[in-house]
Structure formats: C-alpha cells, structure tokens
Amino acid sequence: MEENNNKVFEARISIRPFPSMVSGLQFSYTGAYGKGNTVMEPLWELSSGCVSYESERIVITGQYYTGIGNFAGSMVDANGKPYQNWGMSYYSEVRFYKKKVSLIGRFDRQVIHLNPGEGRSFRSIVGLAYHLDGSNKVLLDYDHIAYSGLSKEGVATLELMVELAF
C-alpha cells in the first residue's frame, strides 16, 4: 500500500566481461534514490555491487551494499531521520548426484548506524534440496538470525518447502 506519492528512481547495469571464456561470470551494480514509503517520506538511497558465477553444478554470489534508510521508511530515528547502513551477503549452491540434489548456504550481515551506537544483524541459512522435474523442488533448510544492539530477539527456523513452477 502506498503511503506517499513519491516515486523511486532505480537503475541496474550488469556485464559479463568474458562471455566466451567464463560465460557464467557476471558483475552488477544497482542504485536507488527516493523516499521511504511512509507519510514522513524519509530519504532512501541504495548503492549495491554484486559478483556472481553460475554453472551447471555451482552457483556463487557475493553482494555488498551501502545506503541511507530503506524503501519501507522504517529505518529512521524518532525524528524521522534515516539511518546510514551497510551490509553484505554471500550465497552458494552446489549440485550433486546428476544435478538432482543441492546443498545451499547463505550468510548475511547488516550494520545500522544508530544514534548512538550500532545495530547489527547476522543471518545464516543452510539447506538441502531435491530437484524434481523442471524447476520444481523440495527444500529443507535451517535459518538462523541473530541481532546485536537492536531491540529484537534472534530467531531460528527449520523449514520444509515445496517449489512448484508451471
């Protein structure tokens, strides 16, 4: 639901520098500038770089971002001033057994510059997937998120998911 009338400017550029030698390697940059989606309309800026590699058996990505506020407009102090923040994320997937089974892993870290101090979040996900026909799969994963310097409690989740594509 839109809480304001502002529009966000977003841009992305991706390049594959060696398409004939390393076709799965890609570099991307994403930027966004606008206002958070609240009546207070706090500033939201995002600058993000990503490196990824994908082949039949392996997917690896690494991403770093820096920004001010967030798209929801919720990363602000009591006066509506947006917090500076940055973070990184790493993801990998390795396929085994004729590409029917995958082991996945993900790690995220986010730092929010509060006034005073810092808030941090750390998230880790590990999982095992079985690929059915086409893009369908069953995934069992363990997801753990922990916080430091924020008034949130950590959460751990064991999840069984079925993804159907048609």
Query: What percentage of the chain reaches a pLDDT higher than 70?
Result: 99
Instruction: For residues 131-149, give the mean pLDDT.
Output: 92
Strand runs labelled E in 5-83: 9-15, 25-35, 43-54, 58-68
* Residue ranges of domains in the chain: 9-163
Distance CA 140, CA 127 (A): 6
Tell me the whole-structure pTM to 2 decimals: 0.83
Give dist(CA 80, CA 21) in Å, integer.
49
pLDDT tops 80 at residue 1: no
Q: What mean pLDDT is predicted for residues 137-166? A: 93
Q: Would you say 59 and 69 are in contact if contact means Cβ atoms under 8 Å apart?
A: no
Preceding amide of 17 cis, omega within 30? no
Per-residue pLDDT tens for 145-157?
A: 999 988 889 999 9
Highest mean pLDDT of the ranges 1-15, 17-31, 35-49 = 17-31
Query: Tell me: the pLDDT tens digits for 111-128?
Result: 999 877 889 999 999 999
pLDDT band at 139 (very low <50, low <70, confident <90, very high): very high
CATH fold group of domain 9-163:
Porin (2.40.160)
Round the average pLDDT of the chain to a whole number and report it.
92
